[in-house]
Amino acid sequence: MQMFRRLFIAAASAGLLSGLFVTLIHQVTTVPVILEAEVFEKAAEAPVPAADAATPAASTEAAHDHDHAAEDHTHGGDEWEPQDGFERTAYTVLADLLTGVGFALLLIAVFAVSGRAVDWRQGVYWGLAGFAIFILAPGLGLPPEVPGTAAADLTARQVWWVATALLTAGGLALLFYVKEPKPLWIVVALALIVAPQAIGAPQPAEYSSAAPEALAHRFIVATMIAQLLFWAVLGALSGYFYKRFVHEPAA
Amino acid sequence: MTTTAQTRTATISATRSRTLIAASMAAFLGVFMIWGVGFSHIAAAHNAAHDVRHSNGFPCH
């Protein structure tokens, strides 16, 4: 437990700080675009209840019993959602902090398993690998989307996302972690990275977006910049705190 | 192999397995947190983390 405590303290320190950092970045980059896109999304949704007004009870029932994908599309409805403004921002901060600690735990667990000495500079490289695994590779098939964009079934996309991250991580590990990789291993590593992209991510039957394309484009750029900064900072801090609390705890 | 060397090897492997167990626990906890924020289908979890899911490129509605 002593070891776990050290890993946890290092991850919590790195995760909370980088979570706080990315919260600030998100507030000025991605969140304003999301709010702007929601204006278009709400405008696009507005006529639907009016059309069903003749049978309000029946249409509500039908909306609830609809297939899974449609259910995931409903915004709010009867479900709880934070009030816009302070409450919504508070939950965004909390979610950013949890994401930071979650990814820091993963990163530091990998440091420990690798058995290598990691400092803040080494950490930046590990962080960039995390960016490639969790943002770049899944983002090639499923680019970040603003609210109100048509998409395939949520579960199918989540399965593809997780599989892509795992395969990319496996491929990168074979390429960079193995000391003297045989040529065959390099081929296998590249195949692992390319396979999910070749198979392709689940796509919607029909592409549509409530928000203008320029906004969707701006969102992808904003997300990529925010996440690149997040992973670089998370990697550096994870390396720094790992060295301080785990690798050289006495120092 | 001398007794001292054997003891040292045993100590190293015990430390190594303790590290692996601790790292697995840390990784499991990390995955659980990321899953809760980014992947849970519970509506309240989705709505609370909505902006972060979009910002992180996690699959969302």
What DSSP element (H or E) covers B41? Answer: none
CA distance A82 to A147: 16
Give this complex's ipTM. 0.89
Q: What is the pTM of this model?
A: 0.87
Main-chain dihedrals φ then ψ at residue A149, nearest 5 degrees: -100, 135
A42 contact partners, CB below 8 Å, separation of at least 6: none
- Listed by start position, the domains of chain A span 2-53+89-151+204-247
- In chain B, the residue whose alpha carbon lies closest to the alpha carbon of A140 is B57
* Residue pair B34/A80 in contact by the 8 Å Cβ criterion: no
Amino acid at A238: S
CA distance A138 to A174: 19
Q: Quick: pLDDT tens for A69-104.
A: 444 444 545 789 999 999 999 999 999 999 999 999
Q: Would you state the pLDDT for residue B6?
A: 79
C-beta atoms surrounding A48 within 10 Å: 11
Q: Quick: pLDDT tens for A37-65.
A: 999 999 988 765 544 444 444 444 444 44
Select the residue from A25, A105, A136, A161 to test the B interface by mutation, using most B Cβ atoms within 10 A: A105
- Listed by start position, the domains of chain B span 23-61
Select the residue from B24, B51, B53, B58 to test the A interface by mutation, using most A Cβ atoms within 10 A: B51
Residue among A233, A231, A211, A218 nearest A30 (CA):
A218
Place B10 in a pLDDT band, splitting at 50, 70 and 90: confident
